[in-house]
Structure 1
Amino acid sequence: MLQMPIKPMLLSSKEEAFDSEDYIFEIKWDGYRCISFIEKSSIKLQSRNGHLLNRTFPELMEIYKAITGKKAILDGEICYLEQDGKANFSKLQARYGENNPSYNSSIKLIIWDILSYNDKDIYWLPLKERKAILQEIVKEGHGILIPGYIKKHGKKLYQEAAKNKLEGIVAKKLDSPYEFKRSKYWYKIKCWQYTEVLIGGFTEKEAGLLVGKYSNNQLHYLGKVKLALERELTEALFRFLPTLLTDSCPFSTRPVEGDIKWVKPLIRVMVRYTELSKHNTFRHGYVTKIILDNSQGG
């Protein structure tokens, strides 16, 4: 029998959406992964890293009322849902700063899989069978939502996700068992936004770039980003950056980062990201291109 803690099945990545009769496609929810252990009225909410989340999310202490049966282990995501149904990760993240969080009806547990039911492990069953069992024994309500999915048409769902500025979609093989590791049966396909920025600093240890954009003649900081360039290009960039060193921070607000080397903001790059955080910095930011034509200036 499965026992807490367990490692959730993690997604591999694909760059492009695809169609396939062998897969179902779901919206990718932007929240905290949660494995729920339910035994009668006892609830244990486990994070991706094995930590207990019960005190952080008191809204979910009655999810057992949505279960037909005495015991179940469910996989899903805790999200903060706005009125339009979109997940707001920044508002969810703010919950971790609260010592005694009050009840908030916007906190929901999105359930998409079931691993065990009434002392019987079923994680080894094909996904399509687990989905059928999930629909049969778990009902929406008491903080639980069960999202829909579509078969075959991944490209169409991706287009809708991108149009609505969602994080992306997930492709899951219909015959996949549940694996307690990063799996090639499930893929995330993110919806990226792109923008041009200027490099204002770098960190050698993590090969990170501090970037920003000009507004009203000031360079506004937009975050620290990673690089998604070919290795040779990355190495060439980090050989060139020291030739632009300066003693002063070029950003209007000094970033709270350690071991930074400031540079004159002369190199323009393309960054892809999922969204801007509440601090107006990139989430999941990556440099994808060095822009050699710098004629646009700041």
Structure 2
Amino acid sequence: MQLPINPPVEPMLAKSVAELPTGAGMTYEPKWDGYRCIVFRDGDEVELASRGGKTLTRYFPEVIEQVRRQLPARCVVDGELIVIRRDGPDGGPRLDFDLLGQRIHPAASRVSMLAEKTPADFVAFDLLAYGDEALLDQPYHRRRERLLAALADVVPPVHVTPVTADEATARRWFEIFEGAGLDGLIAKPADLPYDPGKRLMFKVKHTRTADVVVAGFRWHKSGPVVGSLLLGLYEGDLLHHVGVSASFTAARRAELLDELAPYRGDVAGHPWIHGDHTSGQRIPGGLSRWSGTKNLEWEPLRPELVVEVGYDAMEGDRFRHTARFIRWRPDRDPRSCEYAQLDRPVRFDVDQVLAGDPAPTA
């Protein structure tokens, strides 16, 4: 592969901000919830590089085929791999991060099967090289113009992300695109060069809070202190494991162990010790292909503690990402911590998002 930019290249990143950035020339685009992927193509040679520099090439043969069909013969394109679920129980189509995660599998036969059953789309949002020309030093608005010209004829499952410079449109997108499984918005200054690995863009994500039951914990690898709290929500009489809260300082991990101590005994009737996946209950599991050799054993706690946590979104019936510890809620009855409290976005069609500006103007 002989391109003006060759792998490995760290993608340019975004820093989190609480409010939508504004200013002359600022543009906004959807934040896709998938795998960040830089595509390198030199003729028939194609490499799909992940954010961490690891190759994704062997896991997405159908994307390789589409790159050869639709992208310029020599180019480097930054974008996102996504999987769209079209047969969801509560409407669709929408992004499905769980289905995307299942695509990373060591068995070639399963990779081939999943490429057919749950094919990935590629959403392009930046052009880093074209032909023999590197574009990293060019301002973003020029790279966007070059991207639109280079990918003018692509058709699904290859897309160019929609972009708007209108603040009001961006705010509409932020409100409604979440219902299609998207993650928020990315804001880019017009004159922004592409600086690999640097957080020069901005991202705005949804933030919410929920009161959840603390029904267990995992030890931290550094020693006998708390690594993460295991969180639960009730659905009728079933307590489901919905995620973890884990970002604590070393001092706070030690304090948490003392705070949890009164709840570590008399757990014979714990709802997860006797839980059953076959009944539809989510319970903490052991090792998986995603965790590798990481120890996921956990310690049960009597489900009597309630904590308020911050979260950005749900993935099905669990938190999509690690929840943020806010405060203990001794005033809350654990059995009142149900799914009904959660703020669920209105469903929205991801195909409309990919088609351009589908947001209603009401």
Shorter chain as normaliser: what TM range? 0.7 to 0.9
Match of 1:65 in 2: 69
Is the 1:271–1:288 contact (alpha carbons within 8 Å) kept by the matching residues of 2?
A: yes
SS at match of 2:141: helix
Match of 2:162 in 1: 148
Match of 1:136 among 126, 130, 149: 149
Is the 2:306–2:332 contact (alpha carbons within 8 Å) kept by the matching residues of 1?
A: no
SS at match of 1:263: strand
Residue 258 (structure 2) pairs with residue 239 (structure 1): yes
As a proportion of its length, which structure holds more helix?
Answer: 2
SS at match of 2:191: coil
Q: Distance in 1 between matches of 2:118 and 2:229?
A: 38
Q: Distance in 2 between matches of 1:251 and 1:17?
A: 42
1:52-91 to 2 correspondences below 5 Å: 52-60=55-63, 61-68=65-72, 70-83=73-86, 84=92, 86-91=94-99
Q: Distance in 2 between matches of 1:209 and 1:240?
A: 12
Amino acid at match of 2:36: R
Match of 1:262 among 297, 300, 316: 300
Deviations 1:151-193 (A, max 9, x none): 141434322334656321111121111111131x212211234
Match of 1:12 in 2: 15
Is the 2:311–2:324 contact (alpha carbons within 8 Å) kept by the matching residues of 1?
A: no
Match of 1:202 in 2: 217
Is the 1:19–1:152 contact (alpha carbons within 8 Å) kept by the matching residues of 2?
A: no
Q: Distance in 2 between matches of 1:180 and 1:118?
A: 20
**Pair 1:51–1:223, CA change in 2 (3 A):** same
SS at match of 1:266: strand
Q: Distance in 2 between matches of 1:211 and 1:157?
A: 31
Task: With the length of structure 2 as denominator, give the TM-score of the two structures.
Answer: 0.72
Match of 1:125 among 127, 135, 138: 138
Task: With the length of structure 1 as denominator, give the TM-score of the two structures.
Answer: 0.86
**Pair 1:269–1:23, CA change in 2 (3 A):** same
Deviates more, 1:219-228 or 1:84-93: 219-228
Residue 110 (structure 2) pairs with residue 92 (structure 1): no
Deviations 1:225-250 (A, max 9, x none): 2248x998776544311232126373
Q: Distance in 1 between matches of 2:100 and 2:26?
A: 30
Gaps of 5+ in 1: none
Deviates more, 1:106-115 or 1:262-271: 262-271
Deviates more, 1:23-32 or 1:52-61: 52-61
Residue 237 (structure 2) pairs with residue 220 (structure 1): no
Give the number of equivalent residue pairs. 294
Match of 2:309 in 1: 271
**What do you get for the CA RMSD once the two structures are aligned?**
2.7
Offset of 1:129 from its aligned partner? 0.5
Q: Distance in 1 between matches of 2:213 and 2:111?
A: 39
Gaps of 5+ in 2: 87-91, 221-225, 276-282, 287-295, 336-362
Q: Distance in 1 between matches of 2:306 and 2:81?
A: 37
SS at match of 2:246: strand
Residue 176 (structure 2) pairs with residue 160 (structure 1): yes
Deviations 1:58-114 (A, max 9, x none): 22223233234x310000001112345532111111222324234357521000001
Q: Distance in 2 between matches of 1:43 and 1:297?
A: 52
Q: Distance in 2 between matches of 1:62 and 1:297?
A: 50
Is the 1:59–1:104 contact (alpha carbons within 8 Å) kept by the matching residues of 2?
A: no
Deviations 1:3-35 (A, max 9, x none): 111111122111333433342111111111111
